[in-house]
Amino acid sequence: MQLKNKNSTGKCLIFAHRGASKEAAENTSGAFDKALEYPIDGIETDVQLTRDEVPVLWHDRFLDKLGMPSKHIDNFDYAQLKSFDFTGNFLIYSETENRDESIMTLQEFLSAYRNNCRLLIEIKNREWEASYRHEIKVRKTMAMVAPAAGDSIMVSSFDLDSLVYAHLCDPEIPLIYNFEIDQTIEEARNVLSAQPFLFGFCLPIETIDTPFVELLHSHDKLIAVYTCNSDNEINKALELGADILISDVPQKALQMRGG
């Protein structure tokens, strides 16, 4: 497996997890702009669907970080969400930022950042949501991402059925299967056999090891690793030869990678 346009040194690519999420409210323009102040290689973000079916950037099931712990993104229409302040209730917020942040749509994100760095877009399809909304989310995401140039934009999900459907929607867009911490190398072998279209796997730093890396690279699959924040986690991903390292502290990962 070879990432197109990978840096000439062949080094692991560093992706900012939800932007520079230790310095500004995650998945906002502030966090993405902060991340781009460093020489990062890419940004990872998450897509959910509003009640009126607008793809927006949000990670969690609940809105605790907005001071509404019993509510979800899909409890609100986009116009309602647009009126909320997406920074005020975050525990971590950059003191250098004084702008209000509203929710960002996937379309806005792509328009602003697709020409600045690589993007890894996770479709947040989980058991809490009806399958028909999963399909809507996949269709809309794939339509917005296209046309993607090579691997400059990749789409991921923890839901394998969503990736199978995404491949039917657009077989040209690279698709990454996110593994849970309890999934095993034997499951990876089964998925490799059943779904050879997958471009790669995104593995938890806790479970990745040399046999896992050797298996996936022997099948020419990209290996991304999440979420690498401590020195030990970053070193582990680098030493094992991960292709992409996803971190809340991309500046630290860049420094440890070198260059």
Please provide the average confidence, as pLDDT, over all residues in the chain.
Answer: 91
Report, as an integer, the average pLDDT of 78-88.
86
Instruction: Name the pTM for this structure.
Output: 0.93
Report, as an integer, the average pLDDT of 231-235.
98
**Within 114-249, where are the H helices?**
131-145, 160-169, 185-194, 210-218, 231-240
pLDDT in tens, 46-74: 999 999 999 999 999 988 888 888 999 99
Percent of the chain with pLDDT strictly greater than 70:
91
Q: Is 65 exposed, middle or buried (0-12, 13-18, 19+ CB in 10 A)?
A: buried
At residue 95, does pLDDT exceed 70?
no
Q: How many CA atoms, within 13 angstroms, populate the side-chain half-sphere of residue 223?
A: 27
Going 140 to 2 to 45 to 237, the CA torsion angle's sign is: positive
Overall number of domains in the chain:
1
Q: Domain range holding 226?
A: 13-60+104-257
Q: Is residue 155 part of a domain?
A: yes
Percent of the chain with pLDDT strictly greater than 90:
78
Model pLDDT, residue 2:
57
| Cα–Cα dist 38/46, whole Å | 21
pLDDT in tens, 129-161: 999 999 999 999 999 999 877 889 999 999 999
Q: Is residue 71 part of a domain?
A: no
Q: Is residue 69 part of a domain?
A: no
DSSP-based helix, strand, coil % in the chain, nearest 5: 35, 20, 45
Residue 158 and residue 182 in contact, taking contact as beta carbons nearer than 8 Å: no
| Cα–Cα dist 243/237, whole Å | 9
Q: Is residue 29 part of a domain?
A: yes
Q: Is residue 86 part of a domain?
A: no
pLDDT in tens, 164-215: 999 999 999 999 999 999 999 999 999 999 999 999 999 999 999 999 999 9
Model pLDDT, residue 99:
55
Q: Is residue 5 part of a domain?
A: no
CATH code assigned at 215: 3.20.20.190
Q: Is residue 87 part of a domain?
A: no
Q: Is residue 79 part of a domain?
A: no
At residue 8, does pLDDT exceed 50?
no
Model pLDDT, residue 3:
67
Model pLDDT, residue 96:
45
